[in-house]
Structure 1
Amino acid sequence: MAANREVPPMVVQSGMSQADSSNLEPIVVYAMVSINYAPVLGANVLATITSPSGKKFNITLLDTGSDPDVRKNDGVYTRYFTEFVEAGRYAVQVQVTGLGNQTISSTSGPGSAATYNPGLATSDGTVVTNPKGPTAAGNETNGVSTSDLDPFTRVVSPGGFSYSGPLVDPTVDVLPPGKVIDLAVEQVDNQDLSRGVRLTFSAPGSDYDSGTARAYQIRYSYASSSSLTNNFEGGILVTSAMATQGDVLSPKPAGSDETMVVELIAVPVDRNALSVWFALRAYDDSGNVSPTSNVAMMNAFVAPYVEPTPEPTTQVVTSSETTTPQPITTTTTTTSVTSTTPSVKTSDIDNQLKLFKILTAVFVLLTIILASALVATCVVSCSLKKHGKKVKTEMEKRMEKQMALEMAAARNNHNGIRRPEMNLEIGHSNISYTE
């Protein structure tokens, strides 16, 4: 009972996720603890489950935000029950105990389930945190004075549930780790993405929310949240070498707070702001794997991409009178000239030389072909001219002979001499006389 009459009474409500089970599906047992409609935090909540034969199982209900609990510090304490040792009716009893000054009641009410906005980036790139956020000064959770709460105990019974499925074999591990439902991610340094991102979540167990898992498999994507929910194996795997804080191969016991700092790889360089999605799975020693966690998204701020410039090389040019470079002075005639030129890769120079040699060879070959054609043309032209002169000389001689014969025949006819008949053929002549 409360020490102060002004303090409202403590209210405890308990229940189960289902009244019947038949396939080793775990039963969720929960209890809601509140005072004046505000959640009570830090209470010890113990559920006692009795089998049909009278065997008792005690499980501590937790308000840590890990599966099956939905939200941390909301006054709802939950746990899985999986010890189905026989078929029949199981009875459930819940006992809530407050230890006085160790029990806190949140007077801020249940609050809103809306997504929390941690801050924004201004036009000059400065990140401003949310002044109404839980990390801002003066926004801490307020609670009633612990002196107003006496130690208390409440016992409620939600009834029970029936089980008709196969029995649990303690020598065979068939129960997977629990699902992580509170995964969150934030940039370690809002001005420098190279420092990595911080992942926080509640550790699942090896059997739902009991024990310790064997390892985590964390993956992320720059595409979308659906790329992880639909194809988890297609995401970028976070290895132990990428974790600068925490270890994906050494999970903590169920319900513990996990914090890991991870360096990102394959960061796109074609944008100044990008979104990154994270999800994880847990594995146990028997190879059982948990369902994929909730997908946590982070808007990362990256520095503008700048095209890298080649490193300059210093080349010293000296006069021919000296063999070593000397600084410029007023007392010597040796001068030193320092020039800075961008470095050029040797492979690029070799490629350019090879191309120049090929083009030179082609040019020489074309020149030879053109010269040969000109020589052949000249030879043919000279031959044709010489042959034409020879033909012309022979024809002129024949014409002169014929004209001489005709003139002689004309004179003979005029003087009464027989006229010879000429048969002029090329190369010879036949003369015959007629009366």
Structure 2
Amino acid sequence: GYNRLNRMNQAAKYFLLQTVENGTWVGMVHFDSTANIKSKLIQIISTNERNTLLNSLPTAASGGTSVCAGIKAAFQIIRKRYSQLDGSEIVLLTDGEDNSAKNCLDKVRESGAIIHFIALGPSADPAVTEMSDVTGGKHLFVSDEVQNNGLIDAFGTLASGNADISQKSIEIESKGLTLNNNHWMNGTVIIDSTVGKDTFFLITWVTQQPIISLLDPNGTPMNISTVDAASKMAYFSIPGTAKVGVWTYSLQAKADSETLTITVNSRAANSSVAPITVNAKMNKDTNSFPSPMIVYAEILQGYIPILGANVTAFIESSSGKTEVLELFDNGAGADTFKDDGVYSRYFTAYSENGRYSLKVRAHAGANTAARNLRHPPNRAVYIPGWVVDGKIEGNPPRPEINKDTQTNLESFTRTAIGSAFVVSNISTFPLPDLYPPSQITDLEATPDGDMINLTWTAPGDNFDVGKVKQYIIRISGSILDLRDKFDDALQVNTTDLLPNEANSKETFTFKPGNISERNATHTFIAIRSVDNSNLRSKVSNIAQVALFIPQGDPDEIHPNPNPGISISSLVLLVVGCVVLVSIILSVTIYILNKKKNPNRPRTAF
């Protein structure tokens, strides 16, 4: 069902035509209950070799799945070219269960080969996942939701680990849509100046070829390079380096309930200029409910972090249900460091047990993304101060990002695929709220006359998703008491403070009351947030404000009835001492000279 064979051929053709780098050796094995070698290793030099491999793709699928037979055949054709398997990479695609896969796990582990596993549909055997784990390969999951373009995305992310970044295929765009007859799928694709070589536009359909239009940034129509009616795909291969700017496409469906997809990829325009790249991942590959997970997307140009991009994660379950999360680089919630190019978010919206896939889309408009060129960000954890013998020793304020050290970037778009992850122990019964608001980590306080201004990033009802019910703000003259006995500290009236959605900027101004600690030199402030289920967050980082102590007239504070020696008298005394010392020194020098030369003749004029 789901026309998996045709989808597999579409993705494999995309992989062979565009993803595999020149110079790579590629072979092909088909397997069901047995394995058949369809092509020995061929070095990709031109389109001739690519076309030879395309002709080896399967045209029919039969029953049975023997993963071990397929891997054994793959090892066989590699050994005909190389004496060792170390470092060779095998892409294993299967949609069936195979209880015997575990029987060859030890041989796979000992081989030194890297196994990349693509699980097509929910029935692919979990034992094969372990093969990719133990060999350092990628584990990717693809659902049967065609409009999510998962199979093409999975093959597109399998660039060789040994290839130079300037040679790797970079996915610019990946979208899909189900349309009714004569409806349009319109959009734009941004080709920025860091990419453009070997640019490739791929369009697929399920029923009938749509009307396809592609315009370059100057509005010039592009001619379709190839239409593969049998595989239900067409593509544009842009010669040379594609023009920088906004490319516009229009796809008109010619059948009812038609599903169309478009995929765009390219390579670095210049080998000496690093392209902008996106890497997506989860914080772990397996998880047991209700433990939360974290989504990460790192955007770099070479080693330089890209700031200010709009980043969205799409997490799809085995049944095709998709959760959409906006990721942030704000140093709050799941994001550890602000402005380091790593965008993060908690994920807790588990819908079922099994595999989940991760896809990330990044976009930046003109003047919205910046890169730090001269001063790379310091990733050390900022510590506001420390305690020595019960006294606070403070550090300088956290340094802000200097806008003068950033360069505004042009617009760009990128799509990246992360490895699949597996979730277990999800209950089928309704459960109470299990997730509190995330800890506030960026609380800052500044004095304003007799008032204190607070700013922080809003947490959510479930970690950093949703909106909390209220904030509890407390102050103290002792940082230790506030940290260890938060509930006993003086509470600030927050009746007028209405929480905003998670990841919004919160501000609050209040007049501090009298704190009970004597001899306190600072007011320390901390926050806890409370959600609708009355779950409380951890105590925030502690902000501080120096207390203002008025200085009175010194004579009134310390009256002195006996003024004693005046300043003028003290000055005269010091001058007199200096003169006396000078006289004594001169006399001493004169006596020493007389003793040295008692008989020295004297000359007069």
Q: TM-score, normalised by structure 2?
A: 0.42
Q: 1:301 to 1:211 in 2, by over 3 A?
A: same
Deviation track 1:185-227 (CA, whole Å, cap 9, x = no partner) reads 22224xxxxx222211100111111111110001121112x32
Q: 1:274 to 1:305 in 2, by over 3 A?
A: farther
Corresponding residue to 1:187 among 422, 443, 447: 447
Q: 2: CA distance between counterparts of 1:178 and 1:170?
A: 23
Deviation track 1:17-44 (CA, whole Å, cap 9, x = no partner) reads 2222223121100111122422211212
Letter of the aligned partner of 1:207 in structure 2?
N
Is contact 1:15–1:158 with CA below 8 Å preserved after alignment?
Answer: yes
Q: 1:49 to 1:269 in 2, by over 3 A?
A: closer
The percent of aligned pairs where both chains have the same amino acid is 31
Per the alignment, residue 253 of structure 1 pairs with: 501
Q: Does residue 472 of structure 2 align to residue 217 of structure 1?
A: yes
Per the alignment, residue 482 of structure 2 pairs with: 228
Corresponding residue to 2:405 among 142, 149, 157: 142
Letter of the aligned partner of 1:293 in structure 2?
S
How far 1:58 sits from its partner (Å)?
A: 1.4
How far 1:114 sits from its partner (Å)?
A: 6.5
Is contact 1:84–1:167 with CA below 8 Å preserved after alignment?
Answer: no
Q: Secondary structure at the match of 1:187?
A: strand
Q: Does residue 343 of structure 2 align to residue 77 of structure 1?
A: yes
Q: 1:115 to 1:50 in 2, by over 3 A?
A: closer
Per the alignment, residue 296 of structure 1 pairs with: 543
Per the alignment, residue 205 of structure 1 pairs with: 460
Letter of the aligned partner of 1:164 in structure 2?
S
Q: 1:172 to 1:154 in 2, by over 3 A?
A: same
Is contact 1:19–1:162 with CA below 8 Å preserved after alignment?
Answer: yes
Letter of the aligned partner of 1:239 in structure 2?
N
Deviation track 1:210-248 (CA, whole Å, cap 9, x = no partner) reads 111110001121112x3233221011111137xxxxx43
Q: 2: CA distance between counterparts of 1:111 and 1:89?
A: 36
Q: Which runs of 5+ in 2 are unaligned?
A: 1-190, 195-269, 385-395, 557-605
Is contact 1:222–1:274 with CA below 8 Å preserved after alignment?
Answer: yes
Q: 2: CA distance between counterparts of 1:36 and 1:94?
A: 19
Is contact 2:316–2:357 with CA below 8 Å preserved after alignment?
Answer: yes
Q: 2: CA distance between counterparts of 1:197 and 1:213?
A: 23
Q: Secondary structure at the match of 2:437?
A: coil
Q: 1:269 to 1:57 in 2, by over 3 A?
A: closer
Deviation track 1:316-349 (CA, whole Å, cap 9, x = no partner) reads xxxxxxxxxxxxxxxxxxxxxxxxxxxxxxxxxx
Is contact 1:178–1:291 with CA below 8 Å preserved after alignment?
Answer: yes
Q: Which has the higher contact order (CA 8 A, sep 6+)?
A: 1
Q: 1:300 to 1:74 in 2, by over 3 A?
A: farther
Q: Secondary structure at the match of 1:228?
A: helix
Letter of the aligned partner of 2:306 in structure 1?
V
Q: 1:144 to 1:170 in 2, by over 3 A?
A: farther
Q: Secondary structure at the match of 1:28?
A: strand
Corresponding residue to 2:426 among 143, 150, 166: 166
Give RMSD over aligned pairs: 3.2
Per the alignment, residue 129 of structure 2 pairs with: none
Q: 1: CA distance between counterparts of 2:406 and 2:273?
A: 12
Letter of the aligned partner of 2:360 in structure 1?
V
Per the alignment, residue 265 of structure 1 pairs with: 513
Q: 1: CA distance between counterparts of 2:451 and 2:427?
A: 46
Q: 1:57 to 1:188 in 2, by over 3 A?
A: same
Q: 2: CA distance between counterparts of 1:215 and 1:267?
A: 23
User: Which aligned pairs between 1:306-385 and structure 2 lie closer than 5 A?
Assistant: none
Q: 1:113 to 1:305 in 2, by over 3 A?
A: farther
Q: 1: CA distance between counterparts of 2:399 and 2:423?
A: 46
Q: 2: CA distance between counterparts of 1:97 and 1:283?
A: 34
How far 1:300 sits from its partner (Å)?
A: 3.0
Q: 1:10 to 1:240 in 2, by over 3 A?
A: same
Corresponding residue to 2:333 among 59, 67, 81: 67
Corresponding residue to 1:3 among 161, 185, 193: 193
Letter of the aligned partner of 2:407 in structure 1?
V
Q: 2: CA distance between counterparts of 1:286 and 1:131?
A: 36
Q: Secondary structure at the match of 1:186?
A: strand
Is contact 1:106–1:141 with CA below 8 Å preserved after alignment?
Answer: no
Answer with 1 or 2: which has the greater Rg: 1
Q: 2: CA distance between counterparts of 1:168 and 1:276?
A: 49
Per the alignment, residue 528 of structure 2 pairs with: 281
Per the alignment, residue 343 of structure 1 pairs with: none
User: Which aligned pairs between 1:73-152 and structure 2 lie closer than 5 A?
Assistant: 73-107=339-373, 108-111=375-378, 113=380, 115=382, 134=400, 140-146=403-409, 149=410, 151-152=411-412
Q: 1:46 to 1:263 in 2, by over 3 A?
A: same
Letter of the aligned partner of 2:489 in structure 1?
G
How far 1:306 sits from its partner (Å)?
A: 8.9
Q: TM-score, normalised by structure 1?
A: 0.57
How far 1:267 sits from its partner (Å)?
A: 4.0
Q: Does residue 296 of structure 2 align to residue 30 of structure 1?
A: yes
Per the alignment, residue 18 of structure 1 pairs with: 284
Deviation track 1:132-179 (CA, whole Å, cap 9, x = no partner) reads 9659xxx53432244xx2x33322222122211233867843322221
Q: 1:60 to 1:166 in 2, by over 3 A?
A: same
Q: Which runs of 5+ in 1 are unaligned?
A: 118-129, 190-194, 242-246, 310-435
Deviation track 1:375-396 (CA, whole Å, cap 9, x = no partner) reads xxxxxxxxxxxxxxxxxxxxxx
Letter of the aligned partner of 2:359 in structure 1?
Q
Q: 1:134 to 1:28 in 2, by over 3 A?
A: closer
How far 1:72 sits from its partner (Å)?
A: 2.3
Q: Secondary structure at the match of 1:40?
A: strand
Q: 1:131 to 1:16 in 2, by over 3 A?
A: closer
How far 1:295 sits from its partner (Å)?
A: 2.0
Q: 1: CA distance between counterparts of 2:429 and 2:514?
A: 45
Per the alignment, residue 240 of structure 1 pairs with: 494
User: Which aligned pairs between 1:421-432 and structure 2 lie closer than 5 A?
Assistant: none
Q: 1: CA distance between counterparts of 2:315 and 2:507?
A: 33
